[in-house]
DNA sequence: TCTCCCTGGAGGTATTTCTC
DNA sequence: GAGAAATACCTCCAGGGAGA
């Protein structure tokens, strides 16, 4: 078992002695100075913080970085990190100066696939912040659309091998424009609708998106707000940050509808958020009578139904008299 | 304290509309 | 016409409040 694992690691990382040389062909593994590394230009995931980061730093201090990061050369001796942003960050904190890295010579779309797929390998969508998932899914979809080739989806299956066998399966002609969103949905085990909902979050202003992350705005209301202009969203953000109003499904739907009809003024936003425009009559509340009051007018042997009947008759007479007095 | 009911939100499917 | 995006509507679940 152990032997098999070691062999597998060797297959993956190659001969460690060889790796000491600076072979830089795609797929080779070398040791890189941390100073040579730059973050992926549009990295959608937030870096670990707190206890999770501390644990990683401790682990690296004790055992080193077990799995090489994945990078691609970007010229001037620099390498862009495709997978392993947290490992690089933790290595810096652990005081290391070098890290083992697998070099990949990939284009922008393939780079996106590796960035997203390696993160999704380690973390399920449910572990990610909505903002991270929104960006990740959007990038996946754009990459899939941009290439329009099935190999992108195959690469999702095998993130460690974007140059793998791409054209031999399924028999689809290369370049066939498939239903990108369906494929992204399949790969993430999510429905098409939910993929679309999360992607809509990218239309939110940062402040509102942050509220989705900290769960003060739920996903569905947030999706409704994403259809509003950035100016309207900003007014909403300002209003709820000052007044502390909550946005639920009903309010968000109303705001979206008003915006669509071009009738979403500052005053309307305020009245919707505050609930002032709520025309729905309030549910009648039940009241309790104090025992002192009950004993004043009713005998102890009278049950609730009898008492209610007397109260109803009395109130009917009372309101009739009141009405007659007002008519005079 | 327990049960029931209501509400809000999530996840989904089916359908319609829009865009290329 | 096909794919993408939007919409409508359904079920399920969790949480909170009211009543017994």
Residue A3 and residue A5: Cα distance in Å, rounded?
5
Establish whether the CB of A161 is closer than 7 Å to any nucleic acid atom in strand B.
no
pLDDT in the model for residue A285: 41
Residue A224 and residue A216: Cα distance in Å, rounded?
15
pLDDT level of residue A304 (50, 70, 90 thresholds) = low
pLDDT in the model for residue A77: 86
Residue A142 and residue A17: Cα distance in Å, rounded?
40
Nucleotide lying nearest to A221, CA to C1' measure: B9
Pairwise pLDDT comparison (A317 vs A284), residue with the higher score: A317
pLDDT at residue A108 tops 70: yes
pLDDT in the model for residue A166: 33
CB-based contacts of A264: which residues, under 8 Å, 6+ apart?
Answer: A228, A232, A255, A258
Nucleotide lying nearest to A220, CA to C1' measure: B9
Output the average pLDDT for chain A: 71
Establish whether the CB of A221 is closer than 7 Å to any nucleic acid atom in strand B.
yes
DSSP string, A174-223: TT----HHHHHHHHHT--HHHHHHHHHGGGS-HHHHHHHHTTSS-HHHHH
Cα distances from A159 to residues A7, A26, A91, A129, A306, in angstroms, run 20, 14, 23, 22, 75
Nucleotide lying nearest to A148, CA to C1' measure: C3
Backbone angles phi, psi at A188, to 5 degrees: -100, 5
CATH of A26-105, one of 3.50.50.60, 3.20.20.140, 3.30.830.10, 3.90.1530.10: 3.90.1530.10
Q: What percent of chain A lies above the pLDDT cut of 70?
A: 65
pLDDT at residue A177 tops 80: no
pLDDT, mean of residues A110-115: 77
Establish whether the CB of A218 is closer than 7 Å to any nucleic acid atom in strand B.
yes
- Which of chain B's bases lie under 7 Å from a protein CB? 7-14
CA of A219 to C1' of B13 (A): 19
CA of A281 to C1' of C16 (A): 20
Establish whether the CB of A249 is closer than 7 Å to any nucleic acid atom in strand B.
yes
Nucleotide lying nearest to A203, CA to C1' measure: C5
| C-alpha A218 chain-centroid distance | 11
Pairwise pLDDT comparison (A311 vs A72), residue with the higher score: A72
pLDDT at residue A240 tops 70: yes
Report for A3-7, A15-19, A78-82, A172-176: range of highest mean pLDDT: A78-82
CA of A109 to C1' of C16 (A): 48
pLDDT in the model for residue A126: 61
Cα distances from A303 to residues A253, A294, A300, A315, A317, in angstroms, run 47, 11, 8, 18, 22
pTM across the whole model: 0.62
pLDDT, mean of residues A95-108: 87
pLDDT in the model for residue A181: 76
pLDDT at residue A238 tops 60: yes
pLDDT at residue A98 tops 80: yes
Identify, with chain letter, the residue nearest to nucleotide B12 (CA–C1').
Answer: A191
Reduced to 3 states (helix: H, G, I; strand: E, B; else coil), residue A170 is coil
Establish whether the CB of A191 is closer than 7 Å to any nucleic acid atom in strand B.
yes
Reduced to 3 states (helix: H, G, I; strand: E, B; else coil), residue A129 is coil
pLDDT level of residue A120 (50, 70, 90 thresholds) = low
Residue A163 and residue A234: Cα distance in Å, rounded?
44
DSSP string, A16-81: TTGGGS---STT-EEEEEGGGEE--TT--SPPP-HHHHHHHHHHHHHH---S-EEEEEEETTEEEE
Residue A251 and residue A271: Cα distance in Å, rounded?
10
pLDDT in the model for residue A188: 72
pLDDT level of residue A149 (50, 70, 90 thresholds) = very low
Establish whether the CB of A177 is closer than 7 Å to any nucleic acid atom in strand B.
no
User: Could you give the dihedral angle defined by the CA atoms of residues A261, A266, A272 and A274, in that order, rounded to the nearest 10 degrees?
Assistant: 180
Nucleotide lying nearest to A280, CA to C1' measure: B7
Spans of all domains in chain A: 26-105, 125-147+181-202, 203-280
CB-based contacts of A240: which residues, under 8 Å, 6+ apart?
Answer: A211, A246, A247, A273
Nucleotide lying nearest to A189, CA to C1' measure: B11
Range from A84-98, A110-124, A186-200, A225-239 carrying the lowest mean pLDDT: A110-124
Residue A106 and residue A159: Cα distance in Å, rounded?
12
- Which of chain C's bases lie under 7 Å from a protein CB? 3-8, 18-19
Q: Token pair 């008003």 is at which residue?
A: A258
Residue A98 per-residue DSSP state: E
Establish whether the CB of A192 is closer than 7 Å to any nucleic acid atom in strand B.
yes
pLDDT at residue A99 tops 50: yes
Nucleotide lying nearest to A126, CA to C1' measure: B10
Range from A32-41, A228-237, A269-278 carrying the lowest mean pLDDT: A269-278
Pairwise pLDDT comparison (A14 vs A309), residue with the higher score: A309
pLDDT at residue A233 tops 60: yes
pLDDT, mean of residues A35-55: 80
Q: Which residues touch strand C (CB under 7 A)?
A: A 141, 145, 177-182, 193, 196, 199-200, 227, 260, 285-286
């Amino acid at each position: 078992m152990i032997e098999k694992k070691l062999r597998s690691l060797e297959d993956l990382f190659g001969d460690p002695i060889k790796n000491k040389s600076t072979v830089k062909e795609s797929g080779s593994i070398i040791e890189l100075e941390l100073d040579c590394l730059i973050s992926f230009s549009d990295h959608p995931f937030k870096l670990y913080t707190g206890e999770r980061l501390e644990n990683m730093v401790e682990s690296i201090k004790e055992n080193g970085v077990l799995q090489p990061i994945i990078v691609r050369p970007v010229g001037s001796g620099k390498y862009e990190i495709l997978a392993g942003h947290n490992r690089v960050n933790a290595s810096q904190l652990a005081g290391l100066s070098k890290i083992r890295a697998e070099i990949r010579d990939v284009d922008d779309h393939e780079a996106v696939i590796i960035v997203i797929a390696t993160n999704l390998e380690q973390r399920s969508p449910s572990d990610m912040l909505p903002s991270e998932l929104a960006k990740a899914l959007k990038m996946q979809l754009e990459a899939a659309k941009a290439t329009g080739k099935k190999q992108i989806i195959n690469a999702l299956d095998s993130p460690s091998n974007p140059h793998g066998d791409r054209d031999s399966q399924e028999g689809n002609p290369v370049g066939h424009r498939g239903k990108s969103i369906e494929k992204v949905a399949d790969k993430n085990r999510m429905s098409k609708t939910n993929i679309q909902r999360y992607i809509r979050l990218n239309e939110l202003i940062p402040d509102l998106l942050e509220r989705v992350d900290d769960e003060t705005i739920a996903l569905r209301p947030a999706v409704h707000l994403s259809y509003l202009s950035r100016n309207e969203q900003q007014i909403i953000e300002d209003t709820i940050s000052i007044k502390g109003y909550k946005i639920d499904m009903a309010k968000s739907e109303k705001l979206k509808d008003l915006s669509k009809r071009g009738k979403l003024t500052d005053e309307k936003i305020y009245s919707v958020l505050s609930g002032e425009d709520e025309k729905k009559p309030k549910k009648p509340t039940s009241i309790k009578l104090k025992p002192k009051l009950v004993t004043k007018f009713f005998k102890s042997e009278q049950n609730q139904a009898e008492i209610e009947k007397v109260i109803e008759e009395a109130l009917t007479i009372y309101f009739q008299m009141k009405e007659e007095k007002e008519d005079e």
